[in-house]
Structure 1
Amino acid sequence: MVKILTAREMKEIDSKATSEYGIPSLILMENAGIRTVEVIEDLLESSQSKKVVVLAGKGNNGGDGLVVARHLMNAGIHVDVFLLAGSDEMTPDSYTNYQILSRMSRNIFPLQVEEGLDRLMLALLSCDLIVDAIYGIGFQGQMNDFDSQIVRMVNWSKAVVVAVDIPSGVEADSGRVHGEAIRASHTVSFALPKIGLLLEPGKDYVGTLSVADISIPAPLLQDKNLKTSLISEAMVMYWLGPRHPESHKGTFGHALLIGASPGLSGAVIMAAGAALKSGAGLVTAAVPESLLGVVDAGWMEIMSSPLAESKQGTIALEALPLIEGLLGRASACAIGPGMSRFPEAPAILHSVLKKAGIPILIDADGLNALAEDLNILKDHQVPVVLTPHPGEMARLTGKNIEEIQSNRIAVAREFAQQWGVTLVLKGNKTLIASATGEIFLNITGNPGMATAGSGDVLCGLIVGLMAQGLRPLDASIAGVYLHGLAGDRAAGIKGQRGLLAGDILNSLPDIMQQFER
């Protein structure tokens, strides 16, 4: 499991490395600079002139840049250093490195004066590589006009750009960019990746990401209080694997899907297919009785159950006794795919949550029903998984979509903890929030998966994994990861533009096979 950090968490780790382990902060700065130099030397290997420009701000990020400059000079590389702050503004460690460097070189130039910009422009035109050490992970908001002008000059340059820890102008916790930001060719992040390096739009400024070991003690990087992680193949491999020879269909659980309505029966068909292909031993689709033939035609392998329906063809309250019986025979249930919005939907959802003794996944129109009365969640006695897209999340929280998208991690974490659920917030870099505040960020998938039915496939995949005995949180993590892999495989064959949910579904068996070895 790879942890990813906020700026505050990284600063606390740095502080503990010094206070608890006695590692001087100057040593950490030295290590950061050396690791960055190792990346730079590889990048300059084929360069003839080997000219480097280092842009250093007033903070410790600037100090890292000064260490980089010193080691490059010692390696015989021509380095011009441009300071965006006076020595009296520097942090103590940065000032120490400034003093060392100023005794070694006269190629240190202040940028606070107009002629400094002219000199910088000439240097940028002739250099091979630029080191961005202007702003570090503590940066938030928008940089001033002068610094913005420098960033634009760097971005106009044709030189390779290496960002120290994070591209200047990108917020470490969110990936947000307000105004200008360095467009790096390479970013060297220290100890662990920062969240903003992995989220759009920040990710688009990172270039190739390297994570460098600066000798932070391992226990600090493995602290259980670090609650944000990347989903990895190893995590999913741990939960999946070869099946025991003595298994039978009952061994692998019974997934129940409740949903469908006129014109939307395909949602349940897609979800049922994904539950089957996830490896669930049995799958039942409970749908309005007039749609039974349509659903039966979708998959020969599923069982179906006709539910009493309203005049509009939606599930009627009279279906609740039968639904209760179905819940008693299932291992996990998903409610909502294709269900549509109708007045009785909240009451049906409430009854399912109240009567169920199995994990429940709420998706699509089930989420719309929930948004009408969130107090429905107060009565749940079983694990609940919610799988909203940003629009559904906006309805659940009362926030607008822009607020959701600009604070995805914080919004998801707060909601999951408040209501005691596992929350799968779909979208680019789908994330899973646990009821205890953990966040798991997914990096599989592609834009082609933004297509009708893709969410239904994910719904069926997760409920199928829950039916097989995975904890709801684990099933959500694995389901999201596998769903993205299947989408990537399908896009590799079909392309992204013409990708269909059925293509993702059909790629699942090949993806699942990778985890059986």
Structure 2
Amino acid sequence: MKLVTREEMRELDRRTIEEIGILGLVLMENAGRGTAQIIKKRFGPEKKKVAIFCGRGNNGGDGLVVARYLKNWGWSVKVYLLSEKEKITGDAKVNLEVWLKMGGELKEILNEEELHLIKEEIEKFDLIVDALLGTGLKDEVKGISKEAIQLINALGKPVIAIDVPSGIDATSGKVLGVAVKATLTATFGLPKIGLLIHPGLEYTGELFVVDISIPQVLVEEMNLKHTLLDPQEIDLWPLRPRPLDTHKLSYGHLLIIAGSVGKTGAAAMAGEAALKMGTGLVTLGVPKSLNPIFEVKLTEVMTYPLSDKEGVFSEEALKEVLEILPGKTALAIGPGIGTERGAKKLTLELLKLSRVPMVIDADGINCLVGELEVLKSKKAPVILTPHPGEMARLLGITSKEVQSQRIELSREFAKKYGVILVLKGSRTVIAEPGGHVFINPTGNPGMASGGTGDILTGMIGGL
């Protein structure tokens, strides 16, 4: 599913109106009708009392359309307009006039005092619709809008946000001071990125996408760079049932360089995960002094003892890896290897010399700190799988800074160094050198456990 930034959605709206000839009033009608239908389906069939908070822009206009449909269906609706009626313009003004001509209830709220006076009145409604601030919001919410959002959140009622919860940056998902905590959000045309990443995700609630008649041809012409991974849209042809007349060598041979004293589990999990993915053969290159542990622990995964010093790879291990690398179809390095000289030499030199696809994780990533230019010397595709802390070390910034710019930093890194970057965490970001970014919506907090990253390394290497 394609995702859009604030600017991309604005451009799609503009082209739909100016080039295709679909009036803005039609788009607003489609948006409001679609939202009203979602409300009716989600909270009906019993008719409810609905309070709709409208701002002075097009988001408020969408809210007025919602009000009209719900009223026509027999629901009790009252609009609270955070503006003087005379200041409403454009398509929103048309829908305001229609609402008033059909006898719709409307109350102007022009200051914070008037807002507080309606608190008891608002508490009697079953549902609240947030049509205050739309996707164009860039600055921190202040004044009466801020007070209205705080009031809405304090009510404890189901809240339906129109397009985006007011106070959420549609592109980054950042909270601009304060934001509506929605029960569900009806967004228009295409999902906005900020609704599907943290912290905006936490304010969005259940997300619905309303078709407002944006032509698909315009969407395709935009060459949108952000995609939400949808299991129903993923091409699983490479994982199709295997032909009968095949053998283990038909499915690749993965070499994993992993492990050190106290970190044998990381290596074992990576190797076993690769086998679970269906890899034909898996060889685990491990420190020689630890090899007896692996011989006991592992059955199907083969091991290859490499030179070490007190349980960590020595510099001599590089020559040995290069001797066994021919015939392998992929290479993974990093889980539990440490950052001593031998491990660092292995990582940096294999990056320059390997001619098979390479996955770098964990300590392999830590070995790249201060050495990122080596990525430009690679001879084959490279995938890096950092968690936020490792990404922060690579870039010389804090984890907090990484988390606040996950998409931007991932895309810039992938483009600059020509790698595929998998930034792990809730809503994992996958960026490729061409600038495309994919967001993975799967996973759960139970995965916040040591070892899941090592398993991911084996899975990616296996694939």
Match of 1:408 in 2: 406
- 1:438 pairs, out of 431, 436, 439, with 436
Match of 2:125 in 1: 127
Question: In structure 1, what is the Cα distance between the partners aligned to 2:320 and 2:116?
Answer: 79
The answer to whether the 8 Å contact 1:57/1:134 transfers is yes
Residues 4-54 of structure 1, C-alpha deviation per residue, up to 9 Å, x if partnerless? 221111111111111221111111111000001101222442435x32211
Q: Relative to structure 2, which stretch is displaced further, 315-324 or 384-393?
A: 315-324
Question: In structure 2, what is the Cα distance between the partners aligned to 1:112 and 1:136?
Answer: 19
Question: In structure 2, what is the Cα distance between the partners aligned to 1:303 and 1:264?
Answer: 18
Q: Relative to structure 2, which stretch is displaced further, 161-170 or 26-35?
A: 161-170
Change (3 A) 1:378 1:8: same
- 2:418 pairs, out of 408, 420, 433, with 420
Q: Please state whether the residue corresponding to 1:233 is helix, strand or coil.
A: coil
Residues 345-378 of structure 1, C-alpha deviation per residue, up to 9 Å, x if partnerless? 3332222122211001111111011113111112
Compute the displacement of 1:101 (Å).
2.2
Residues 102-129 of structure 1, C-alpha deviation per residue, up to 9 Å, x if partnerless? 3233622211145632553243122122
- 1:103 pairs, out of 79, 84, 101, with 101
Compute the displacement of 1:240 (Å).
1.4
Pairwise mapping of residues 373-384 of structure 1 onto structure 2 (< 5 A)?
373-384=371-382
Pairwise mapping of residues 347-366 of structure 1 onto structure 2 (< 5 A)?
347-366=345-364
Q: Please state whether the residue corresponding to 1:291 is helix, strand or coil.
A: helix
The answer to whether the 8 Å contact 1:328/1:357 transfers is no
Compute the displacement of 1:251 (Å).
0.6
Q: Please state whether the residue corresponding to 1:23 is helix, strand or coil.
A: coil
Match of 1:393 in 2: 391
Question: In structure 1, what is the Cα distance between the partners aligned to 2:19 and 2:126?
Answer: 41
Question: In structure 1, what is the Cα distance between the partners aligned to 2:58 and 2:238?
Answer: 42
The answer to whether the 8 Å contact 1:327/1:357 transfers is no
- 2:161 pairs, out of 145, 160, 163, with 163
Pairwise mapping of residues 305-344 of structure 1 onto structure 2 (< 5 A)?
305-310=304-309, 312-344=310-342
Compute the displacement of 1:141 (Å).
4.0
Match of 1:72 in 2: 70
Match of 1:205 in 2: 203
Residues 54-74 of structure 1, C-alpha deviation per residue, up to 9 Å, x if partnerless? 111122111111111222233
Alignment of 1:51 onto 2:49: yes
Unaligned ranges ≥5, structure 2: none
Q: Between Structure 1 and Structure 2, how many residues are aligned?
A: 462
Q: Please state whether the residue corresponding to 1:205 is helix, strand or coil.
A: helix
Pairwise mapping of residues 96-495 of structure 1 onto structure 2 (< 5 A)?
96-105=94-103, 107-113=105-111, 116-118=114-116, 120-223=118-221, 225-234=223-232, 235=234, 237-310=236-309, 312-465=310-463
Alignment of 1:93 onto 2:91: yes
Q: Please state whether the residue corresponding to 1:372 is helix, strand or coil.
A: coil
Return the structure number with greater helix share. 1
- 2:254 partner amino acid: A
Question: In structure 2, what is the Cα distance between the partners aligned to 1:44 and 1:385?
Answer: 46
The answer to whether the 8 Å contact 1:124/1:159 transfers is no
Q: Please state whether the residue corresponding to 2:11 is helix, strand or coil.
A: helix
Compute the displacement of 1:161 (Å).
1.5
The answer to whether the 8 Å contact 1:257/1:284 transfers is yes
Match of 1:492 in 2: none
The answer to whether the 8 Å contact 1:53/1:123 transfers is no
Compute the displacement of 1:92 (Å).
1.8
Question: In structure 2, what is the Cα distance between the partners aligned to 1:362 and 1:44?
Answer: 49
Question: In structure 1, what is the Cα distance between the partners aligned to 2:204 and 2:251?
Answer: 43
Question: In structure 2, what is the Cα distance between the partners aligned to 1:349 and 1:158?
Answer: 54
Compute the displacement of 1:223 (Å).
4.1
Compute the displacement of 1:236 (Å).
5.1
- 1:284 partner amino acid: T
The answer to whether the 8 Å contact 1:328/1:356 transfers is no
The answer to whether the 8 Å contact 2:376/2:417 transfers is yes
Give the structure-2-normalised TM-score.
0.95
RMSD: 1.8
Compute the displacement of 1:207 (Å).
2.0
Change (3 A) 1:98 1:459: same
Q: Relative to structure 2, which stretch is displaced further, 384-393 or 240-249?
A: 240-249
Change (3 A) 1:82 1:224: closer
Residues 399-423 of structure 1, C-alpha deviation per residue, up to 9 Å, x if partnerless? 2111100110011001100100000
Q: Relative to structure 2, which stretch is displaced further, 228-237 or 430-439?
A: 228-237
Question: In structure 2, what is the Cα distance between the partners aligned to 1:106 and 1:14?
Answer: 28
Question: In structure 2, what is the Cα distance between the partners aligned to 1:433 and 1:8?
Answer: 20
Residues 375-404 of structure 1, C-alpha deviation per residue, up to 9 Å, x if partnerless? 111211210000000010001111211110
- 2:26 partner amino acid: I
Alignment of 1:29 onto 2:28: yes
- 2:246 partner amino acid: S
Q: Please state whether the residue corresponding to 1:220 is helix, strand or coil.
A: helix
Unaligned ranges ≥5, structure 1: 466-517
Question: In structure 1, what is the Cα distance between the partners aligned to 2:252 and 2:436?
Answer: 27
Give the structure-1-normalised TM-score.
0.86
Question: In structure 2, what is the Cα distance between the partners aligned to 1:295 and 1:44?
Answer: 57
Residues 473-512 of structure 1, C-alpha deviation per residue, up to 9 Å, x if partnerless? xxxxxxxxxxxxxxxxxxxxxxxxxxxxxxxxxxxxxxxx
